[in-house]
Structure 1
Amino acid sequence: MTATIARWPAALVLENGSIFRGDGFGARVESIGEVVFNTSITGYQEIVSDPSYCGQIIVFTATQIGNVGVNPEDLEARKVACAGLAIRELSPLPASWRSAEPLPVWLEASTVPGIDGIDTRALTRMLRDQGAMRGAITPNVTELEGVLARVRAAPKMDGLDLVPRVTCAKRHEWSEPSWRALDDGRAIATPPISHHVVAYDFGMKENILRQLRDIGCRVTVVPATTPAREAMALGADGYFLSNGPGDPAAVDYGVLATRALIESGKPVFGICLGHQILGLALGARTLKLPFGHHGGNHPVLDKTTGKVEITSQNHGFIVDPATLPSGVVQTHENLFDH
């Protein structure tokens, strides 16, 4: 049996007054967020469940979304934090042996709205040319002037600290490896513990934790507000600063803790928001990109070797290379920024 997918008239309203009408799915609620586009062809479940999208409405440039359903093994977080999903076409039936439920059913349970049937190509071009902007997915299609007023009254991403909405509540150990299957269905064995990493959770993707475990790390996850002295008391070999949403300059407690972690002499590694916090702790500044880097096809130049790597990225802010202090070297550069 397949679940009955409820549909209704819906609209995506942008702060510039543009309106994209389509059909609603998922949760029948109005949701406001920063509208950004993602150019990945696959992996919509991992993208939608990524806590870094907290407060954002995701526009997929891929034509059809939902065709492999949703499964519990590939979630990046147990709770969906994004503000909504805007797509060209919703797949009518998931076709994957790993699917546990259809995408709309999962979104409804997560109180996240979606809209399909809109011209995502035109929408993406608008966001590319005018920059990411606030918007709302709404079922209230007869009162769009009121929706537009609410959109324009919503806070912008600049200056927003969204980490408290997605960080963990308390310290915990992570032991789950990546999901892989052998022909007989047995899980692949993980290597023995060789290092201890303390991971600051600014909105952690669980796959990062799985991969740390895959290479033999004991991983202790701590809340974003954990003082450096408490983290250092855990006796780690190094510290990891996770991805996360919002403006890194607003996460002053993370910057303060990171400065102390750097001074400890232990290795410190950051991804996404964590990388930006690391840059701020070293004395650089961050700035907001017009429409961000969101996709799985970003060419990055390794300035040491001259080689170009294709990367998966998701962030709206960067460390400004022009503000790097003496002794801090930029090793990689996103070629889309040229």
Structure 2
Amino acid sequence: MMLKPVWIYLENGVFLEAKSFGFEGSKTGEIVFNTSMSGYQEIMSDPSYAGQFVVFTMPEIGIVGCNENDMESSTIYASGMLVRSLNETPSNFRSHETLPEFLKEYKSMGICDIDTRYLTKMIRDSGPKMMIASTEVSDLATLKAMLEKSPRIEDVNYIEKVSTPKSYLHVNGVWNPEAQTYNATPKRIGKKILAVDLGIKRNILNELCEVGLDVEVVPHDFSADDVIARYKKGDIHGLFLSNGPGDPLILKNEAAEISKLIEAKVPIFAICLGHQLLSIAHGYPTYKLKFGQHGGNHPVKNMKNNVVEITTQNHNYNVPDTICKVARITHVNLFDNTIEGLEYHDSPIFSVQHHPEASSGPHESKYIFQEFANRL
């Protein structure tokens, strides 16, 4: 496979040339790094990466190819991926297509033959940067001008782009390796929840179904009044707030609707962006981390039992420590001591920042889904 050149310009003035193996053209986005050793397809199809370029610290990418079953959503919302070394020939019986074919199919950029260690250290030291990558434009000044005219990630409401336009039922459980398919008949416990799609991952829905819940997925612009009415009638037993991309402070309408749910004491469980929106709805705005947490090897301490869980993370924003005025901290990130889980005082509401549904792993936090089902 002949790889075409691609030119990269970052807002701090860094200008690089590498090779392109995905979508050809020009794209802008925020550059972040991910430390996972596996699961590149799940990462790229995670809607939470909308508007971002992902630098993979794992140097060899493409080894297991790609397949339809490992998608976390219907497409790729990430601007692209940057890897040190591309493996064009996958070695995996589940592979249906190569990584370059996968990226081209979903119009996402692939960049290789680049020093990912340098980029990771740069992001670690000075934070994520807006960047532009192009297979068409090689002139630094032109790329700089194009980037300056592009919106920044904190100025875009990506939820409108990634959320479902209409409600639907989700019925599949978790992946069954023996049958090589998702469990189509998980147990039922007679409790129904609404899952608000802010950029929800398929494996979150699978885990909710696997613990026996009936799951109805609803758009981001849901009506709190309708939810409260259904809850009071007994039509639903609780609500889930999903992960998603972008700056949570942009989502003023969603936060306002969540505030109504809090006041009505609707049982709520939330992950990642949903966790952040709960904080905002309680009156405690989020802040941006220096370089975020993205990877599948992050230690989190469960403050209830002092057990350390290895978790998957994907967030640039965090809830403030002042949230302790209205909530109890249940989980803490051992990398930077930031808040990873909360239970709100005198309220049937709890949330986590990390991803207990992790696919392809780790799975040490999966118990949280059962905990949600038990509380309803």
Give the TM-score normalised by the residue count of structure 2: 0.84
Find the counterpart in structure 1 of residue 56 from structure 2.
60
1:51 aligned onto 2:47: yes
* Identical columns (%): 40
Instruction: Report matched runs for 1:106-255 at 5 Å.
Output: 106-182=102-178, 189-234=185-230, 235-255=235-255
Task: State the Cα RMSD in Å.
Answer: 1.8
In 2 relative to 1, CA 68–327 (structure 1 residues): closer, same or farther, beyond 3 Å?
A: same
For residue 329 of structure 2, give the secondary structure of its aligned residue in structure 1. coil
Partner of 1:291: 291
**Equivalent residue number for residue 325 of structure 2:** 326
Q: Against the structure 1 CA distance between its residues 159 and 320, is the aligned structure 2 distance closer, same or farther, given a 3 Å change threshold?
A: farther
Unaligned runs of 5+ in 1: none
Deviation string 1:152-186 (CA, Å, 9 cap, x unpaired) is 33232334321101000001111122221327989
Show structure 2 runs of 5+ residues with no match. 338-376
Shift of the 159–7 alpha-carbon distance from structure 1 to 2, 3 Å rule, reads: same
User: In the aligned structure 1, how far is the partner of 2:161 from the partner of 2:180?
Assistant: 40
Letter in 2 for 1:275: H
Q: CA deviation at 1:233?
A: 3.8
How far apart, CA to CA, are the structure 2 residues paired with 1:261 and 1:185?
Answer: 36
- Map Cα deviations across residues 190-240 of structure 1 (whole Å, 9 max, x no partner): 112432110000001011001111111100000001111222344211110
Q: Which secondary structure state, in structure 2, belongs to the residue aligned with residue 155 of structure 1?
A: coil
Q: Which amino acid is 1:220 matched to?
A: E
Deviation at 1:119, TM superposition (A): 0.3
SS at match of 2:327: coil
**2:349: which partner in 1?**
none
Q: Deviations over 1:229-278 (max 9, x none)?
A: 22234421111000000111111111111112222323211111110001
Does the CA contact (< 8 Å) of 2:172 and 2:184 recur in 1? no
Say if 1:82 and 1:308 are closer, same or farther in 2 by CA, change over 3 A: same
Partners of 1:131 and 1:154 in 2: CA distance: 19
Contact 1:161 1:248 in 2 (8 A): no
Quick one: distance in 2 between partners of 1:69 and 1:88? Answer: 16
Distance in 2, Cα, partners of 1:201 & 1:185: 24
- Which stretch of structure 1 is more off in the superposition, 303-312 or 49-58? 303-312
CA deviation digits over 1:293-328, x for unaligned, max 9? 10011111223333322110001101111x316332
Q: CA deviation at 1:95?
A: 1.1
Aligned residues: 333
* Matched-pair contact (CA < 8 Å) for 1:20–1:119: no
Tell whether the 8 Å contact from 1:11 to 1:115 is kept in structure 2 after alignment. Answer: no
Letter in 2 for 1:286: T
- 1:304 corresponds to: 304
